[in-house]
Structure 1
Amino acid sequence: MEYSTILTLCSFSFLAGFIDAIIGGGGLIQTPAILFTLPQYSVPTLIGTTKIPSLSGSLMGAFQYSRRVAVAGRFIGPMMAIAFGASWLGAWTLTRVPNSFMKPFALVILVAVFIYTLTQKSFGQVSHRIVTAQQQRLRMWVMGAIIGFYDGFFGPGTGSFLILGFITLIGFDFLKASAHAKLVNAATNLSCVLFFANKGLILYSFAFPMALANLSGAFLGARLAILKGNRFIRVFFLLVIAATILRFAWDLLT
């Protein structure tokens, strides 16, 4: 039974890594899968377990993108450090206060994002500079703090929010935004892994096989995104945002 359970979780983790590498949102697949498959464990333990496969997928996606997409090296390192610390703070906060109020809040934001992206055909199709270098630095650091905290405290949609921020606030196209989002998401995932591991809230017998599957999916997803380009990623972005909206709406109504 345990082998069949691991195989099931690995299948979902592969799909999560594939989608997450393209546009984010893999947690919408991986997290419900492990919560449904292993109901005998506590929710913090299961969430902690998913962070190792999420980290492996983020690292693979970041590696694939960085080989083909120019990265804002001067700014992304400090942004990753800020996101790392903010994610740890978010995870710590989660152990002390409930996060149930986040779903309605995130749902409203996601609906607005979906409508805007759908109506603006040129959104994220080309990279253009909309701010000075100093403004870019400040915006990236603030974004790292806010979204990093969100990832540790709540999580779903983090990759999509990062991509949205890089496009609207910095002026990146979808491909470049995805590349930078993977780097920041790797930092937030690493922070969560260290936090949950320190608390003894990771099931390693499930986490490591899932990590291998997630990494494989991320490899294929990133390669496909790089091959197909911005239009393909835009379609995936809309699909993932729509799925996230439906998921949050279902949770609120049931």
Structure 2
Amino acid sequence: MLELVTVAFASLLAGFIDAVAGGGGLILVPALFSAFPNAVPATLLGTNKGASVWGTGWATLQYVKRVQLPWRRLMPAAVLAGVGSFAGAWALTMVSADGLRKALPLVLLAVFIYTLAKKDLGREHAPRFSGRAEAMVAGGIALAVGFYDGFFGPGTGSFFMFLFVRLLGYDFLHASATAKLMNLLTNVFAISLFVSKGHMWWHVAAMMAVTNVIGSLLGTRLALKHGAGFVRGVFIVVVGALILKTAYDAFLR
């Protein structure tokens, strides 16, 4: 019971962070591994997806209602994100991710420094493309980051947000909304793979799903209330935490 309470609370915090700026896995995945140290890693990762997809889905629904985005043009990109995620998971069975594990902290550090240096980055919503061009650029981002999500994963939401801000000209609020849509599809495709392999604890996922949705509700409301500046601040904190976590995993463990 103590383990279930622990991961349920971690899922609430993860849902909150994910709804605002991505990176909820930074909290929930370590909590699962700590609470159930003898479990098969794939089962814990599948259970994490089985819970977080509900919070992501709720956040996506709330953003769709309140944030004006070209959703019809972005839906094909979301499907490409799911396809990329499945392809990345398949590629992981063929090659090792060790090189990427060591490079990731450096990539995140570059994102962190660039965001801090560009103080106006993501504060104003000024899309650079429209129509088919916007759909194509969004599709390229979705396919690439989706592949990364399936192949390795940490910081997927943050990468989505940064690239939508930097390449498409979105502000952080609109980028967060778009990232939720992409993450929803990558999670659905990943869950289908985990379930087909039997890597899902349904009872644990169900409990964590409830608290994840509660956290997502709180995070979404704050993001919508306070806007792009608030989301940018949380994004910087999350990326900073990801740098520390991924550097520790790559070089010190």
Separation in 2 of the partners of 1:141 and 1:237? 22
Q: Is the 8 A contact 2:86 2:150 kept in 1?
A: yes
Q: Is the 8 A contact 2:7 2:208 kept in 1?
A: yes
Paired letter, 2:153: G
Separation in 2 of the partners of 1:246 and 1:195? 30
Residues 131-140 or 159-168, more deviating: 131-140
Offset at residue 135 of structure 1 (A): 2.4
Residue of structure 2 equivalent to 1:72: 70
Offset at residue 31 of structure 1 (A): 0.7
* Residues 15-70 of structure 1, C-alpha deviations (whole Å, 9 max, x = no match): 00000100000011111111111111111111111001111111011011111101
Separation in 1 of the partners of 2:81 and 2:166? 19
Distance 1:61 1:233, change over 3 A: same
Q: Number of matched residues?
A: 252
Offset at residue 222 of structure 1 (A): 0.5
Q: Among 225, 228, 235, which residue is 1:227 paired with?
A: 225
Q: Percent identity?
A: 40
Q: Is the 8 A contact 2:84 2:143 kept in 1?
A: yes
Residue of structure 2 equivalent to 1:97: 95
Separation in 2 of the partners of 1:76 and 1:26? 23
Q: Is the 8 A contact 2:19 2:220 kept in 1?
A: yes
Separation in 2 of the partners of 1:94 and 1:55? 21
How high is the TM-score relative to the length of structure 1? Answer: 0.96
Paired letter, 1:89: A
Paired letter, 1:188: T
Q: Among 26, 29, 34, which residue is 1:28 paired with?
A: 26
Separation in 1 of the partners of 2:86 and 2:10? 26
Residue of structure 2 equivalent to 1:218: 216
Residue of structure 1 equivalent to 2:123: 125
Residue of structure 2 equivalent to 1:203: 201
Residue of structure 2 equivalent to 1:251: 249
Residue of structure 2 equivalent to 1:85: 83
Q: Among 51, 54, 73, which residue is 1:53 paired with?
A: 51
Q: Among 113, 116, 122, which residue is 1:115 paired with?
A: 113
Offset at residue 100 of structure 1 (A): 2.3
Residue of structure 2 equivalent to 1:165: 163
Offset at residue 129 of structure 1 (A): 2.6
> Could you say what secondary structure the match of 1:125 adopts?
coil
Q: Among 3, 6, 9, which residue is 1:8 paired with?
A: 6
Residue of structure 2 equivalent to 1:185: 183
Q: Among 153, 156, 160, which residue is 1:155 paired with?
A: 153
Please list every run of 5 or more consecutive structure 1 residues that lacks an aligned counterpart in the other structure. Answer: none
Post-superposition, which runs of at least 4 consecutive aligned residues in structure 1 deviate over 2 A? 92-98, 131-135
